């Protein structure tokens, strides 16, 4: 085999193993990144929750960490996501949760062909892209933005970057 063919074959093997690694990554271990800022999303296994279908952390600039959860709505089922910052723990009121919630909305996914779908629950392959409508403007108006918080606002679109082990 010629050196050129060997190099091409090796490059293709690396490319296909990378694609296969992304395709085989379950959503609960997926890592996403934003192209416009240093924001990233790390999904975590949810466990035995009867209500929460997905959990994740969103890391923004200046080491600001937002806690994310997804709960499916009743009636017309939709994956309703919430991003919270420095929420109190324990028995908290609805007003306390509202005060520390920076973003709420339906989370969408997209495949490599541009087909839009709802964020799935755990146990399926991670979608290629996640869409958080109006995330950037909501976070820019939040208490976590500015002087001691993050300064680069993420876009609403996050791409699959890898899989946690």
pLDDT at 3 exceeding the cut of 90: no
pLDDT at 59 exceeding the cut of 80: yes
Give the pLDDT score at 137.
94
- Higher-scoring residue by pLDDT: 6, 140: 140
3-state secondary structure the chain: CCHHHHHHHHHHHHHHHHHHHHHCCEHHHEEEECCCCCCEEEEECCCCCCCEEEEEEEECHHHCEEEEEEEECCCCCCEEEEEECCCCCCCCCHHHHHHHEEEEEECEEECCCCCEEECCCCCCECCCEEECCCHHHHHHCCCCECCCCECCCCCCEEEEEEECC
- Tens digits of per-residue pLDDT, 9-57? 444 344 343 444 445 799 999 999 998 888 999 999 998 777 899 999 9
- Tens digits of per-residue pLDDT, 82-113? 999 999 888 888 898 899 999 999 999 999 89
- Tens digits of per-residue pLDDT, 66-82? 999 999 999 999 999 99
- Higher-scoring residue by pLDDT: 19, 119: 119
pTM, to two decimals:
0.81
Give the pLDDT score at 49.
76
Q: Give domain limits for the chain.
A: 26-163
């Amino acid at each position: 085999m010629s050196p050129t063919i060997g190099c091409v074959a090796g490059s293709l093997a690396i490319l296909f193993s990378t694609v296969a690694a992304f395709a085989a990554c379950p959503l609960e271990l997926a890592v996403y990144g934003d192209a416009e800022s240093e924001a990233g999303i790390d999904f975590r296994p949810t466990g035995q929750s009867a209500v929460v279908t997905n959990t994740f952390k969103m890391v923004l600039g200046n080491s600001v960490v937002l806690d994310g959860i997804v709960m499916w709505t009743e009636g017309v089922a939709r994956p309703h996501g919430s991003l919270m910052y420095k929420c109190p723990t324990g028995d908290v009121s609805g007003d306390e949760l509202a005060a520390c919630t920076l973003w709420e909305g339906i989370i969408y996914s997209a495949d490599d062909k541009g087909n839009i779908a709802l964020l799935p629950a755990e146990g399926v392959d991670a979608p290629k892209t996640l869409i958080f409508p109006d995330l950037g403007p909501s976070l820019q108006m939040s208490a976590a933005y500015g002087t001691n918080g993050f300064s680069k606002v993420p876009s609403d679109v996050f791409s699959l970057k890898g899989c946690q082990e």
